[in-house]
């Protein structure tokens, strides 16, 4: 059985890390991989080697291919406020001047910064 508290604590540590300068550190888009937390709720796709190294060496994540999520259908999706609060420190420390949020009906939310792409699974009601 997966300990969700441990998964959340591990992710809190990761999202507290300040990203390094992306210049000369960017992973080409065709080489990027996704990393799922053990509870399979959040997928992190690092865009920098710095973040990838921290993620793969210090956290219990499993590598997976990046899903092709279709955001064509507009409509509601429900997400855990606890998970969104968890991601906030990383978003706050992005070196970019904003974040991109994409969502569709009953699809994961996609949150993208200069350094990372994060997919958060919707809540099952």
d(CA 115, CA 20): 9
**107-117 pLDDT per residue, tens:** 888 888 888 89
- Sheet with 116-120: strands ordered across: 61-64, 34-37, 42-46, 116-120, 109-112, 100-102
Mean pLDDT value of segment 67-79: 78
User: Percentage of the chain surpassing pLDDT 90?
Assistant: 6
Q: Cβ-count burial of 116 within 10 angstroms (0-12 exposed, 13-18 middle, 19+ buried)?
A: buried
Per-residue pLDDT tens digits for 26-48: 899 899 999 987 777 888 899 88
């Amino acid at each position: 059985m997966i300990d969700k508290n441990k998964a959340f604590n591990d992710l809190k540590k990761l999202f507290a890390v300040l990203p390094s300068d992306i210049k000369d550190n960017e992973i080409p888009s065709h080489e990027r991989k996704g990393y799922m937390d053990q509870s399979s709720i959040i997928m992190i796709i690092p865009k920098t080697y710095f973040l990838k190294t921290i993620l793969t060496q210090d956290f219990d994540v499993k590598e997976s291919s990046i899903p092709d999520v279709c955001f064509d259908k507009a409509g509601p999706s429900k997400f855990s406020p606890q998970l969104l609060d968890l991601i906030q420190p990383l978003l706050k420390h992005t070196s970019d001047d904003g974040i991109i949020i994409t969502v569709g009906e009953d699809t994961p939310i996609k949150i993208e910064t200069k350094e990372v792409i994060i997919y958060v699974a919707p809540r099952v009601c």
